[in-house]
Amino acid sequence: MNTERDSETTFEEDSQPNDEVVPYSDDETEDELEDQGPAVEPEQNRVNREAEENREPFKKDCTWQVKANDRSFHEQPHFMNTKFFCIKESKYATNAIKTYKYNVFTFLPMNLFEQFKRAANFYFLVLLILQAIPQITTLAWYTTLVPLLVVLGITAIKDLVDDVARHKMDNEINNRTCEVIKDGRFKIAKWKEIQVGDVIRLKKNDFIPADILLLSSSEPNSLCYVETAELDGETNLKFKMALEITHQHLQKENSLATFDGFIECEEPNNRLDKFTGTLFWRNTSFPLDADKILLRGCVIRNTDFCHGLVIFAGADTKIMKNSGKTRFKRTKIDYLMNYMVYTIFVVLILLSAGLAIGHAYWEAQVGNYSWYLYDGEDTTPSYRGFLNFWGYIIVLNTLVPISLYVSVEVIRLGQSYFINWDLQMYYPEKDTPAKARTTTLNEQLGQIHYIFSDKTGTLTQNIMTFKKCCINGQIYGDHRDASQNSHSKIEPVDFSWNTYSDGKLVFYDHYLVEQIQSGKEPEVRQFFFLLAVCHTVMVDRLDGQLNYQAASPDEGALVSAARNFGFVFLTRTQNTITISELGTERTYSVLAILDFNSDRKRMSIIVRTLEGNIRLYCKGADTVIYERLHRMNPTKQETQDALDLSGKSTKVGICSVPDADFLGNDLATSSQHPGETLRTLCLCYKEIEEKEFEEWNKKFMAASIASTNRDEALDKVYEEIEKDLILLGATAIEDKLQDGVPETISKLAKADIKIWVLTGDKKETAENIGFACELLTEDTTICYGEDISALLHTRMGNQRNRSGVYAKFVPQVHEPFFPSGGNRALIITGSWLNEILLEKKTKRSKILKLKFPRTEEERRMRTQSKRRLEAKKEQQQQNFVDLACECSAVICCRVTPKQKAMVVDLVKRYKKAITLAIGDGANDVNMIKTAHIGVGISGQEGMQAVMSSDYSFAQFRYLQRLLLVHGRWSYIRMCKFLRYFFYKNFSFTLVHFWYSFFNGYSAQTAYEDWFITLYNVIYTSLPVLLMGLLDQDVSDKLSLRFPELYMVGQRDLLFNYRRFFVSLLHGVLTSLVLFFIPLGAYLQTVGQDGEAPSDYQSFAVTIASALVITVNFQIGLDTSYWTFVNAFSIFGSIAIYFGIMFDLHSAGIHVLFPSAFQFTGTASNALRQPYIWLTIILTVAVCLLPVVATRFLSMTIWPSESDKIQKHRKRLKAEEQWKRRQNVFRRGVSARRSAYAFSHQRGYADLISSGRSIRKKRYPLDAVIADGTAEYRRTVES
């Protein structure tokens, strides 16, 4: 056991998981995790470490070198890499991006090479070569060449269209322009012309063309605001800041042109948040980090212009390094279809081998003794049999359908266009249609078992609105007039009295406005004053209007609410903040900003009032605010009781309510809006004595300049002042559900699709959304991480006990984790997920291991230890998946993007189920790429999720139509198409097999060569394609009304090996009838003119005519949805067959090509005989009547759900309106709420305190920096 724990620690040894924190960053290394805490180094470790350092000196990985304004520097020989033989190119990529695959010269060879990598295409190429050997083939070469060229041509055209679109997109991006220094001046240049080392100028709202080092900008201290939505999905602005040295000296054009800085930095990589480098300039080195780098894909905002030095260009940029290779996704039917084609290959080889043996036997018994069959070749029967084996491979090659793959691609392409054209999935508010971004996964949409959904922006709108507030025990936000009388219908508050109102807030409580304007309740004004002053929001004026930039949408919503109620945040400096209070501007001194972080869960600001008093204002999550309230707080206990009313995990209500009856009234109001989910925040304040502040400020300043552990020191100082607080009230903001989310989830659940929500939000927030969208109901039993951890621990113990010597003799029985019945849901945090799945970062051994060889015994023990740990981990993961899948809903909160993808992968791996992931942000990309199908929501968080997805649309509610209508139809159509395709090819090809018994197994064909050539290309192609595109068993409205119809796809009922062999058997029987009925009719036949039409050519025409009519009528029997196009294609195909046949059998074409057209006059001669027509009609009838009878009995005795709905479709035509599930009344429960969600990163407090954001002066483009201004800035920063 000690060996097993030598180098790793298991989850049992670690502390209890924390539900409130995201477990760790996805890109943390083990070394980074180890370094988080100080450790005492044992003496032996020190000795070992020194030995290691002496043996392998450490080398810093900063090998990327950039010289400003010197392109020749990057073309030196030691920067050149060999690309191909003696061809060399620079390791520095150009800025041109290339996503296309072909050019004019490479298209044909590369496309043909890619197509011949497909087994079927390569197989037919080999057949074509075999057909060029006269000793083998009995079939003309064009019978294979024409279909092969059609297939290759259609696929090539499709690839060409796709690549032309990529060319256009690349050209559009590469030909964007910006200003680059050339010959000492800024000149307009295209993006593709930019190179590493160039100095460029960007202006407001410009896209950044490469990864650049920020040198200077128009803002104070060369700040630059960027929007990173295209990069990470976040819409709030980030700020970057140049080095002080470049800010001071690189403002003018001539100084930028002579800039000769030298940079050493890390090699190009995909770490978006990390950068390490050094700038060498003016005999000094300056450290560089990610805060000084502008990344390609971002947009310049709120900054008139900025200058930068190109570090990474084109393919070396971080966004391109992150793009990676998209995983190639294939559908379940694809894999099944390939296995069936392999099965057909085996059947083909077995048939050919059997017939070749038959020919060898026939030659030995008959051929060698029949002088009239002598062909001049003195070969042995076995050799003739060998040649005939290859001959039959050629004759029976149509068993392997060459046009199958291209037909499938055409059908999928058409179905993709139907999705794109669906107006019911079009979102007019943003002019966003649904889009199928791939054409290869449509039928898989009809087989989904599990949906993994993000929360914010996917289920919710990600638009925060101020909904309610509680001030001094009084709740505001209901429908009330100015006299405090409630009304069911009332006009929203008119904020026109406030000139700063943005007109976006919809609020119905007129009594709150009355309270603010009257000033009767001073706490009300103080409440909104706190919202206006206690934040880190940045403000900008755009066209005379205030424009707020917040670190989180929640904080922006609160500041905007205060603005609408008359307390307007106008501007701020390093140590002041200006507020308009009901039209009166007042400026307050800001003494300190105590910024938010994920551990503190609160932020505070200390200001000096106009009266000279010092006051601390604080806002934060209730869990941390209550701990710091003054023990004599008048409303503390009432607030605690109201918030804790529903128990330990799901707190409801929004604030303190002293009157229990009033809380009941609030419930009555809130229960009318069951989708209401409120995110709450508690507000409080504290008066501070001057002496107390001075003592605290000394500690604060000392912590602010600490060189080590600065954040921890500040947090400790913050704790000293944030105590004995007075509760002022609470706010409640709402992130509304998108329209139709509960309805969509309800219908998908009826279709037996399980929905898992994976989110980075807090547990309470995620749980409340679960109730709002009806994933969770009042009668749901909720299990948490600690609950299932115990269950899994017990299960693992039982499994270990059963894994003894006799384990292999005892059959494994699946034991459920929960008793049957009941509605259960699982809510688990990322920390518990890592704990349960043994995915915690392993800690390295405290003893450094030298690189000396171990003994064989040690190696063996270590290998066994690793295997045991892996086996344990795998068993634990499988148990977790089994347990989670027994729950009706699963919500994983506080999970990282990597964990989202891990959960999806676990279900894929252990349940073998088809998965779909849907999200709207960059943090969902990994999950979207991991699932079988990825869906992107084009919402508030950029386009990265959409760009990585297979399908995209604007609203979650469109998912029900994508799956229940388009997905189900696509699955049914594809299954029908494949079954029919295999059937018609077996019916066609196996006639050769039966004919072989009557021609000495000589590989003679039963049809004319041109019929074989055109059968799959013209005679039977259009009807089956149209069925694959247009057929539908029930309408879209009925598909949505009866989600249970979706289950056939989940259970693979319409296309599987059983269905395949039924189609194969059907084809065998049809071919049997097609051959033997005409054969019997031709044995003793005399025509009306006394001539016997029983020649080979007339026999071939009879079989071919019966075959074409039979297979086209068969598809009519398979068609559920008849249109004029379907009918025209079926009867038109038959007409085209007869028209082409009469042309090919005419004397005129025989005169032109006598060797290629040898059935001259056969059709006209044979088909003028009524006896032949009667034979054809009899053959068709015998083939089809049993099918008609079987279908009738099946629909009458064993009707499917689809059959029943089709039978009563007229009565069911009016779609039933969906009704929301009725909520169970629970006394004392108000609107669900969760703790306020701050940004997961620090706010802008450091920036504000430093004075760097203050717009004292914008530097003109070519202005010289005045000494006085520079001195002022240095004074401010000091």
Instruction: Report the Cα 601 to chain-centroid distance in Å.
Output: 31
| Residue keyed to tokens 């609203």 | 955
User: Sign of torsion, CA 543 545 551 553?
Assistant: negative
* Cβ contact 547:560 at 8 Å: no
Output the CA angle 782-784-789, nearest 5 degrees: 130
> What are residue 1154's phi and psi, to 5 degrees?
-65, -30
Between CA 1026 and CA 1130 the distance in angstroms is 10
Q: Please name the residues in contact with 1104: beta carbons below 8 A apart, sequence gap of 6 or more.
A: 1007, 1008, 1011, 1141
| Nearest residue to 1106 via CA among 1181, 1042, 1033 | 1181
Active site residue 478: no
Q: What is the DSSP letter of 38?
A: -
Given 198, 422, 454, 595, which residue is catalytic?
454
Between CA 541 and CA 336 the distance in angstroms is 61
For residue 1107, give the amino acid letter: L
* Cβ contact 1056:333 at 8 Å: no
- C-alpha distance across the termini of the chain, in Å: 58
| Residue keyed to tokens 């509760």 | 727
* CA-based R_g, the chain, Å: 38
Token pair recorded at residue 1086: 């005399």
Strand partners, 186: 181
* Cβ contact 721:679 at 8 Å: no
Instruction: Specify the pairing of strand 450-453 against strand 460-471.
Output: unpaired
Q: What is the dihedral of CA 886, 740, 744, 477, to 10 degrees?
A: 10
Instruction: Report the Cα 318 to chain-centroid distance in Å.
Output: 20
Count the Cβ atoms, other than its own, within 10 Å of residue 1124. Answer: 7
Count the Cβ atoms, other than its own, within 10 Å of residue 163. Answer: 17
DSSP 3-state of 1199 = coil
Token pair recorded at residue 561: 């609410």
- Tell the burial category of 707 from Cβ atoms under 10 Å away from its Cβ (0-12, 13-18, 19+): exposed
Q: What is the DSSP letter of 42?
A: P
DSSP 241-288: E--HHHHHH--SHHHHHT---EEEEPPP-S-TT---EEEEETTEEEEE
Between CA 168 and CA 158 the distance in angstroms is 16
| Nearest residue to 733 via CA among 465, 463, 504 | 465
Between CA 549 and CA 709 the distance in angstroms is 29
- Tell the burial category of 446 from Cβ atoms under 10 Å away from its Cβ (0-12, 13-18, 19+): buried
* Cβ contact 688:606 at 8 Å: yes
DSSP 3-state of 728 = strand
For residue 893, give the amino acid letter: C
Between CA 393 and CA 411 the distance in angstroms is 29
- Tell the burial category of 292 from Cβ atoms under 10 Å away from its Cβ (0-12, 13-18, 19+): buried
Q: Give alpha helix (H) positions in 308-331.
A: 318-323
* Cβ contact 719:932 at 8 Å: no
Distances (CA, A) of 243 to 98, 170, 214, 281, 743: 33, 34, 8, 12, 54
Residues catalogued as catalytic: 454
